[in-house]
């Protein structure tokens, strides 16, 4: 894989599943405003920023709130989410994720995390994975949420790699679109129906290694 120099990973749904914690925190907000928020609804929030997620949540409840109140709600949600993730352990790393990351690093490739989460660094510390990344770009580092390609372009820029030499691992359609808009190849992690724009789709990082990846890219 001579032309791949940087592996870029999303966090939620690729390395760890914190969607359940987001869901619980958002559900508490919905209950406060007396409307139902389902796990299916929560799928719509994957891969997008906190404020965009709040706008989607409020649209589900047919609510329109002042911007200042929305900022307060977003902060309350984040504090509840942080309460949940503060108890995370390395046992919550998704199957094969740590092993694949270690293999990539040992093989001499650069690695980046590109996550909409503003708590990405904190989560990586709880999982003991932070040392496996050359750069971390999170929701605090960018102005535009996926599907805007900013987060992936910034990750590549931080380690001096051009987009054509990058490959992205993403579980959300917005992330896949962002990767393609950045001019990068993308491996979807999840459902082929949802991630139809990816170059290839796997069910998890336990289903891939560098040899199979090479076969996928150069078949």
Residues involved in catalysis: 10, 12
What would the DSSP string read from start to end of the chain?
-TT--EEEE-SBTTTB--HHHHHHHHHHHHHHTT----HHHHGGGTTS-HHHHHHHHHHHTT----HHHHHHHHHHHHHHHHHHHTT--GGGBPTTHHHHHHHHHHTT-EEEEE-S-TTHHHHHHHHT-GGG-SEEE-TTT-SS-TTSTHHHHHHHHHTT--GGGEEEEESSHHHHHHHHHTT-EEEEES-TTTTTTSSEEES-GGG--HHHHHHHHT-
What is the Cα–Cα distance from 12 to 202, expressed in whole angstroms?
15
Q: Supply the angle between the helices 19-32 and 67-85 in degrees, to the nearest 10.
A: 140
């Amino acid at each position: 894989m001579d032309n791949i120099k940087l592996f870029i990973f999303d966090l939620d749904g690729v390395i760890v599943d914190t969607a359940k914690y987001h869901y619980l925190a958002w559900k508490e907000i919905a209950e406060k405003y007396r409307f139902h928020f389902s796990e299916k609804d929560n799928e719509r929030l994957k891969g997008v920023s906190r404020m965009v997620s709040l706008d989607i949540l409020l649209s589900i409840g047919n609510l329109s709130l002042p911007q200042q109140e929305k900022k307060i709600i977003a902060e309350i949600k984040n504090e509840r989410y942080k309460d949940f993730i503060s108890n995370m352990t390395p046992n919550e790393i998704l199957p094969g994720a740590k092993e694949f990351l270690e293999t990539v690093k040992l093989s001499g490739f650069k690695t980046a995390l590109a996550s909409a989460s503003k708590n990405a660094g904190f989560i990586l510390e709880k999982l003991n994975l932070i040392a496996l990344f050359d750069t971390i770009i999170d929701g605090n580092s960018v102005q535009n949420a996926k599907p805007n390609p900013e987060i992936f372009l910034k990750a590549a820029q931080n380690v001096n790699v051009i987009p054509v030499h990058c490959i992205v691992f993403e579980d959300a359609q917005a992330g896949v679109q962002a990767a393609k808009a950045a001019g990068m190849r993308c491996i979807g992690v999840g459902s082929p129906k949802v991630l139809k724009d990816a170059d290839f789709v796997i069910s998890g990082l336990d289903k891939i290694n560098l040899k199979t990846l090479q076969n996928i890219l150069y078949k």
